[in-house]
């Protein structure tokens, strides 16, 4: 449960083209390969798509994700940043950059990009409704890059936790719970944070809620917490 998992977001949008040597053709070929986990081969087709159309956001984004799947996080960041050159507030690109920096261990930089993602127009606020307009055969739509803000809060909370900014992490995990996003996992991490802060009352409460929501590791943490309390000298 303590293993940090930062998802990257991949666009799997079928694109229609009558030109079988067009950028969309190469993109579609890459999509099939990605669905089969053939990321190295997919990158070769995305290279061709991007060569045909350098500002083709779906191909740049997916190539970044493919590189990330191959643990080339530096290369992934380079591709996401190419999107930002002409689309500076692309929410998914900013989120994925943050995740990539976090995987590289550059937590300060990761938080910087999560902050940027949260102030973009495409960061969908909790409780809001967004209507996506897509025209026939439209190959690239701004709405494809929207992301729910609580997904960014969850990733930033992990970054704050790794940076020992416990109070900031508590705020972000709490926002996730309020948005009904990964509640059990958020409760578990809150339990860990309060345990680190030696606040055993709140640690117990969050571990208990996490366990009730099906997080198996919470039971072990409750046992560990109980052992810790027994070993503490009486006030």
User: Average pLDDT for consecutive 10-residue bins of the chain (235 residues)?
Assistant: 58 56 91 96 97 96 98 98 97 98 98 98 78 62 94 98 98 97 98 96 97 96 89 66
Q: Which residues share a beta bridge with 221? A: none
Cβ atoms 107, 162 nearer than 8 A: yes
pTM across the whole model: 0.86
Element (H, E) at 124: strand 123-124
Residue 132 has what pLDDT? 56
Rounded Cα distance between 208 and 187, Å, is 9
Rounded Cα distance between 119 and 49, Å, is 30
75 alpha-carbon distance from chain centroid? 17
* Length, in residues, of the chain: 235
Strands 147-148 and 123-124: parallel
Cβ atoms 176, 192 nearer than 8 A: no
Domains of the chain, CATH where assigned? 23-141 (1.25.40.10)
């Amino acid at each position: 449960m303590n293993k940090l998992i930062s998802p990257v977001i991949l666009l799997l949008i079928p694109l229609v083209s009558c030109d079988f040597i067009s950028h969309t053709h190469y993109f579609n070929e890459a999509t099939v390969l990605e669905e089969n986990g053939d990321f190295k081969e997919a990158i070769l087709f995305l290279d061709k798509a991007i060569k045909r159309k350098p500002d083709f956001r779906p191909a740049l984004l997916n190539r970044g994700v493919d590189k990330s799947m191959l643990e080339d996080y530096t290369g992934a960041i380079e591709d996401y940043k190419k999107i930002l050159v002409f689309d500076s507030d692309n929410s998914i690109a900013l989120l994925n950059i943050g995740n990539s920096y976090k995987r590289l261990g550059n937590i300060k930089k990761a938080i910087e990009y999560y902050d940027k993602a949260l102030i973009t127009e495409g960061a969908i606020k909790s409780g809001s409704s967004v209507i996506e307009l897509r025209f026939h055969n439209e190959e690239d739509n701004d709405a494809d890059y929207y992301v729910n803000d609580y997904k960014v809060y969850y990733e930033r909370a992990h970054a704050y936790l790794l940076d020992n900014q416990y109070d900031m992490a508590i705020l972000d995990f709490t926002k996730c719970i309020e948005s009904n996003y990964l509640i059990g996992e958020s409760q578990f991490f809150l339990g860990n944070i309060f345990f680190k802060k030696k606040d055993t009352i709140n640690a117990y409460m969050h571990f208990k809620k996490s366990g009730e929501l099906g997080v198996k590791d919470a039971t072990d943490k409750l046992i560990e917490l109980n052992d810790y309390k027994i070993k503490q000298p009486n006030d």
